[in-house]
Amino acid sequence: MTLTQPMRVAALQGDEAVAEAVRQCDVDVVAAYPITPQTIIVEKLAEYVADGRFRGEFVPVESEHSALSACVGASATGARVFTATSSQGLAYMHEMLYNASGMRLPIVMAVANRALSAPLVLNADHGDMMGSRDSGWIQLYAENVEEIYDRTIQLFKLSEDPRVMLPSAINFEGFILSHDKERVRLLDDEPIRRFLGRPKPKHKIDPDAPLTFGAIATPDTYYEFRMQQTEAMKNVLHVFDEVEMEFEGFSGRRYGAVDAYNTDGADVVMVINGSAAGTMRAAARALNGSGEKVGVLAIKLYRPFPMEQVVSHLAQARAVVAMDRSLSPGAPSGPVSEDVKSALQLAGLTKPIMSVVYGIGGRDLSTDDGKNIFGMAKEGGTFGASTVMYGVKI
Amino acid sequence: MSWKQLEEGGVVKGGTSSSYIVSGWRVKRPVINEAKCTNCLICWIYCPEPAIVRHEGAKVTIDYDHCKGCGICETECPPKAITMVREP
């Protein structure tokens, strides 16, 4: 890989990396409200504006509902728009999430994932975004700070593609990634701006040619509008590959919709999303070093769900472990596990699946925990039974 | 209409409400007593729809096709020249 430029290397927290990416992406409007653990993003962007390093409009709104409302209005004018939130903030945006996707506005949002109240907790799980899973937003999960940075840039390109025109969210666990300082190879502004171009929406608000966005529908048309969204979401799967390929061309970095470690010929494959994927890979590597045959499939692109790729990486496994960092009380299992089961069933594959919940409210998951979970799968005692609530104190 | 034919995101051009007849929504209709009307245009300002029509050299009239019968004009009219009358 020949790189078109030398890299600047910086030690950045996940939140700082998002702010830097937003500054570089030539964003026109940011409307956001601070909430732990996303606050640093908003602080940094406000600082950039004050220092004259960011030319976009920063709208300091009074709530998250207003933040996304302002984003919806700004995006309808054809501007490039960004917001960020966490937990209760995302919950407060819930209504507007559907307006953004329904009006087909390519807003990009960073979500520093945090568990929901009550009881109030500041630490991570995926419960906030999983609660908005069906809102019609593209949903990506990152594993490390450099990936957060890269994905933020990629999402503008993906969302603004005329075949897509859907809002998107880059998810990364609060504190674990939002406040973790890691080595990031920063890219230069110029190739990023060449990669992104400027948004070219088919429709935009213009006082000289008035349009109505999000007009009322009837039972005669609403279903058809939602069908358009559903088809656009399907288009994401191949547009995502194009975006990744083009991004790799100037950055040398590519992640895929899924990341497969040792899934070929593995006895047990664990499916997981978010930062714990790396921890589980380390656990798998250690086990494989002592003669086991285990693999890890990290889901990067969660919506749309890359069914074909998931199935192809699980096809040879004797058993599957599906890991969820969120709770769905009363459901057969967590949302990731449900998706894995559906994908396998639709492909005509029947396999023993162990559904595991972990990391709720920021509970740590170590490599030893990973080894334990693979060990449980090997023993085979929990397949088909109720979801394993891993690490809960009993 | 097929989902492929509908405009993405439900975007519609402005001015479409003028072709939408809402007269069937009314229970009561506003009636102007022309003798009392001072043509102050308060009703025209307050009417949430384009149902009060101004005229050069003549007093306002009501476009009943676009009047939903809300009665705001009756409440706001300073000389009490507008009365809401039950539709037959």
Helix A189-196 to helix A145-160 angle (10° resolution) is: 30
Question: Do A238 and A271 have their domain in common?
Answer: no
Domain of A148 in residue numbering reads as: 8-251
Is B35 at the interface with chain A, CB within 8 A? Answer: no
pLDDT at residue B10, as a whole number:
87
Compute the distance between CA of residue A304 and CA of residue A165 in angstroms, rounded to an integer.
14
Domain of B42 in residue numbering reads as: 32-88
The whole-angstrom distance between A356's CA and the closest CA on chain B is: 38
Question: Do A236 and A358 have their domain in common?
Answer: no
Tell me how many domains chain A contains.
2
| Domain finish residue from A187, A221, A251 | A251
pTM comes to 0.90
Written as one letter, the residue type at A360 is I
Question: Do A290 and A228 have their domain in common?
Answer: no
Chain A residues within 8 A of B3 when measuring between CB atoms: 223-225, 227-228, 231
Put simply, the answer to whether B8 touches A203 (Cβ < 8 Å) is: yes
Among chain B residues, the shortest Cα distance to A164 is held by B8
pLDDT at residue A116, as a whole number:
98
Split at pLDDT 50, 70, 90, the class of B20 is confident
Put simply, the answer to whether A212 touches B11 (Cβ < 8 Å) is: yes
Compute the distance between CA of residue A53 and CA of residue A375 in angstroms, rounded to an integer.
52
B73: pLDDT strictly greater than 90: yes
Q: What's B73's domain CATH number?
A: 3.30.70.20
Compute the distance between CA of residue A68 and CA of residue A40 in angstroms, rounded to an integer.
18
Split at pLDDT 50, 70, 90, the class of B13 is confident
Element (H, E) at A59: strand A57-60
Put simply, the answer to whether A224 touches B2 (Cβ < 8 Å) is: yes
Below-50 pLDDT ranges, chain A: 1
Each residue of B54-64: pLDDT tens digit?
999 999 999 99
Given A103, A213, A224, which is nearest B6 (Cβ)? Answer: A224
Higher pLDDT, B20 or A76: A76
ipTM value for the complex: 0.82
Question: Do A37 and A156 have their domain in common?
Answer: yes
Chain A residues within 8 A of B15 when measuring between CB atoms: 210
For A234-237, the CB contacts below 8 A with 24+ separation are A234/A304, A235/A161, A235/A163, A235/A164, A236/A138, A236/A158, A236/A164, A236/A166, A236/A301, A236/A304, A237/A301, A237/A304, A237/A306
A178: in domain: yes
pLDDT at residue A3, as a whole number:
53
pLDDT at residue A4, as a whole number:
53
Give the burial class of B85: count Cβ atoms within 10 A of its Cβ; 0-12 exposed, 13-18 middle, 19 or more buried: exposed
Q: Provide the sign of the torsion angle of the four alpha carbons A135, A141, A145, A151, taken in this order.
A: negative
**Chain B interface mutation, best of A77, A203, A229, highest count of B Cβ atoms under 10 Å:** A203
Question: Do A262 and A367 have their domain in common?
Answer: yes
Q: What's A381's domain CATH number?
A: 3.40.50.920
